[in-house]
Amino acid sequence: MKVGLVLEGGGMRGMYTAGVLDSFLDNDIDINCIIGVSAGALFGVNYASKQRGRALNYNTKYIKHPMYMSLKSLIKTGNMVNKEFAYYVLPRRLDIFDQEEFSKSNIDYYATVTNVDSCEAEYIKIDNVFEQTEILRASSALPFISNIVEVNDKRYLDGGIADSIPIEKMLTMGCDKIIVVLTRPYGYKKEKKKNKLLYKIAKQKYDKLADIIDSRPDNYNATLENIYKLRDNKEIFVIQPSRDIKIKRLEKDVARIKEIYNLGLTDSNNIIDELKKYLNSSNN
């Protein structure tokens, strides 16, 4: 049986996902294919490498480090999240990522990115986290507070712009069962706030992509509706926060980060028997 997992992004709301994934490790939930977006892509690799608690550890330890993410980094480098420290120093020297275990997992792992020129989502297979760091960085490169990431002569930004929750892509991957981890509670709808000045700036900076950014709320809400229909038909299994997550996208409050992580851990543990029943049930 092939089990797929879709991981929504959302900045530090991704700590909820980190808690869910650690619960999966605790309860021997086996996944064969993962498609992550933004923070979902960044934190999801720790499930494949079986490094329980790693996302929580390095975020709580280094979140206030001046070289992790800051306005100073944005002004100096163009990236709010510092490229060199967060993506190269930290996983290679300070909290080492286990690439060997990641490879041994044999999980088909994909990071979602948005092609700035085509304005379409791309799903790039990650075989080596160290060698493909720039793809993972691109998946979480938010407009306005990150530079465009160039890889193989292509220009990328955050995957959530073109495909916030890639359920449609996962449905084409030949999975028998699909789990979706959301970082918003049931009932959430993304509001469309027309900001003419912001749109004008986006148009000048990103050209055609500005229209995709502008239409993202409508696309996001339509995707959620589809996900809930699939869930109600028992075609997929959805895990999402049991209450509203009050956390900033680039949160620096360690207590709040731990709180959101623990919510993910608790919510997942509370439905783990239901999840196992879904995974063990016969397909319709």
Q: What is the pLDDT of residue 283?
A: 65
Average pLDDT over residues 220-249: 95
| pLDDT at residue 194 greater than cutoff 90 | no
Name the strand (E) or helix (H) holding 246: none
Residue 265, amino acid: L
For residue 193, the SS3 value is: coil
Residue 144, Ramachandran bin (φ over 0: left; ψ between -120 and 50: alpha; else beta): left
The model's pTM is 0.96
Residues, the chain: 284
For 58-84, write each residue's pLDDT tens digit. 999 999 998 899 988 999 999 999 999
Task: Please return the burial class of 12, using the count of CB atoms within 10 Å of its CB with bins 0-12, 13-18 and 19+.
Answer: buried
Query: Which letter does DSSP use for residue 172 in this model?
Result: T
| pLDDT at residue 156 greater than cutoff 80 | yes
Average pLDDT over residues 12-23: 97
Alpha-carbon span 84 to 88, nearest angstrom: 5
For residue 232, the SS3 value is: helix
| pLDDT at residue 284 greater than cutoff 60 | no
Residue 183, amino acid: T
Q: Which of 53-57, 189-193, 268-272 has the lowest mean pLDDT?
A: 189-193
Q: What is the pLDDT of residue 198?
A: 80
| Cα torsion angle, 204, 208, 213, 218, sign | positive
**Alpha helices by DSSP H, 49-195:** 54-62, 71-77, 83-84, 99-104, 133-139, 167-170
